Amino acid sequence: MPTDPTITVAEAMTLHGEDNVTFVDVREPDEIAQGTIAGAAKIPRGTLPEILADLSGPLADTSRTYVFYCAAGARASHAAQTAQAFGLQNIRVMETGYTNWKGAGGPTE
């Protein structure tokens, strides 16, 4: 993982839509139901270890860059640490979360 994997919403927006980048929403299902970043994998933080252990799951490609986000950043930071422990290295954490992404006009669904 980079020394500081934290990126701003503006930096995350430049990565959105890139072929080798996956956004990962680690909020709870009730939060996700209120909206998410377009195309994001929806993996609540509590289920992350199980998903990471599945070598054919949505986080199995170690060559991809994964941008973790939550509502404000704390859960995403913990999720990134968990992902690193499972061998993912190309990890970023969007610092201020979904609300700021939406407020900045980022694509949502």
pLDDT of residue 57: 83
pLDDT of residue 66: 96
pLDDT of residue 3: 54
Task: Report the distance separating Cα 48 and Cα 37, nearest Å.
Answer: 18
pLDDT per residue as tens, the chain (109 positions): 445 699 999 999 999 999 999 999 999 999 999 999 999 999 999 999 999 988 788 888 989 999 999 999 889 999 999 999 988 989 999 999 999 999 999 999 9
CA dihedral for 79, 80, 81, 82, sign (positive or negative): positive
Domains, the chain, in order of start with CATH, read 6-103 (3.40.250.10)
Those residues whose C-beta lies under 8 Å from the C-beta of residue 99, and which sit 6 or more positions away, are 71, 72
**Are the CB atoms for 1 and 87 separated by under 8 Å?**
no
pLDDT of residue 56: 81
